[in-house]
Amino acid sequence: MAQHPVESALWWLERLWDELQERRKYVELMRQYCCGDHPLPMIQDKARVAFQRLLRQARSNYVGLVVDATAERMQIDGFRLGDAEAGDPEAWRIWQANNLDADSDLVITEAVKVGRAFMLVAPNPDDATTPMVTAEDATQAIVAYRPGSRRERAAGLKCWEDDWTGELMATVYLPDAIHKFRAPKPKHGVIGQPKWVAREVQGEPWPAKNPLGAVPLVEVPNRPDLLGEAHSEIEDVLDTQDRINKTLIDRLMAQEFSAFRQRWATGYELPEDENGQPIEPFKAAVDRLWVAEDPNVKFGEFSATDLTPYLKAVDADVQHMAARTRTPAQYLLGQLSNVNGETLKATESGLVSKVRQRQRPLGEGMEEVVRLTLKAAGDGRDLARIETIWHNPEFRTEGELVDALVKMSTLGVPHEALWERWGASQTEIAQWSQLRDQAAERIVGGDIAALYGPKPEGPVNVEAAGGDGL
């Protein structure tokens, strides 16, 4: 193959394509485990076909609970710019216009599940003030960074299979241009680079200019390391999940063949049929009685297999998984009784700490997306300082929360911060701030009734309200 200039669009395409194929193996494995499609437990080959039903029943998806317990506590409430006390309304408007108040949950869940997810920013030809943002899958997108940097994006690639033509489609994103390619889908079993050619779109130059001046494909990583790799939340406990499944198949086989108490008889001469074959003399049933006239005949039974060791082995492995992933054991075991609030809070402290730690790198990716959208919308403000506003991951009773907020208010904490801790959305906080300011203006104007809430609209009929009238 001919050599291409370093960092040309085709050079990036071939390099990132190869990296994406390798990464897909990891992503698909993590996704397979999270969906409960675990590898079947190992048993002897001669018994494997006969016990397919038991093998399928032996998979219990604990790693899926680990992902759910982590992702469900991460919710974005808004974005704060600079020294602002409340979330930025323009950033949230664009966010909601792209349905990202819902789709961001999908991005976070995928990142927790497979290690990373992606978001793509593009100008909106129909409304320049509302750029388009889409969530991208880790099997279809990849980003390359400048050497020595884990944040400066050098190039991005999105690759997918066209549903209509069956061709491979690829788009290479560079800071100054966007290059589109297509290629025939490789035949099954063929390994190597597809035969890429330029994919020209009617009415669009090739390559297209990148108006953002930066790679618009942004990676949202979970558990990143200093080498730039991101990791799934369940990567460390796949072996534990396999052990659980192996214990479960052993238990099911014991239930199938050893849980029923086998009976025996001695001193009994078995009757035979006309061909000399023994005839089974007794049939076990709840309404049947075994009787023998010979006093030398003795009956007995073998004890059933005790399933308790299997159940304890599963519980032990689940406890190990809970400890390694900092997931409360009661989430995985479903055992919770006579536990007070303080104890419950203590058991969830590890999960809350982990979630707060995961929010930081995930938030960096989200903030870069907001930065690109505001830039694409022509926002002239300083966008260097953007902070993700996360919903409080700690579950507390309403009484505990109110008590804590009242105590914080005595320390001079602003109302906006207290409302945010309460769990109010940025839209609600903006509305409450406006109502508070309006009430303050009315009080200054001499309307003392403003101290007791919003002024009712229209005249009040005193008699209809039950008053005496004057």
Tell me: cis bond preceding 207? Omega within 30 of 0 counts.
Answer: yes
Taking the model in full, what pTM does it have? 0.77
Counting other chains too, the contacts that 273-279 makes at CB distance below 8 Å and 24 or more residues apart are none
Please state, in angstroms and rounded to a whole number, the distance separating the CA atoms of residues 301 and 260: 10
Question: Chain-centre distance of CA 290, in angstroms?
Answer: 59
How many other β-carbons are positioned within 10 Å of the β-carbon of residue 42?
12
Angle of the 238-257 helix axis to the 62-71 helix axis, nearest 10: 140
As averages over each run of 10 residues, the pLDDT of the chain (470 residues) reads 65 95 95 86 58 68 93 93 87 95 94 97 94 96 92 95 91 96 80 87 90 96 92 94 87 70 72 77 68 76 74 90 90 66 76 94 96 95 93 76 78 77 72 75 68 56 47
pLDDT of residue 172: 97
pLDDT of residue 49: 57
- Distance (Å) of CA 258 to CA 71, 276, 306: 41, 30, 9
**Amino acid (one-letter) located at 232:** S
Which three-class secondary structure state does DSSP give residue 28? helix
DSSP letter, residue 235: G
Residue pair 157/174 in contact (Cβ under 8 Å)? The answer is no
Please state, in angstroms and rounded to a whole number, the distance separating the CA atoms of residues 287 and 280: 18
Please state, in angstroms and rounded to a whole number, the distance separating the CA atoms of residues 215 and 371: 12
Close Cβ partners of 462 (under 8 Å, ≥ 6 residues apart)? 468, 469, 470
Quote the tokens at residue 381: 């403000």
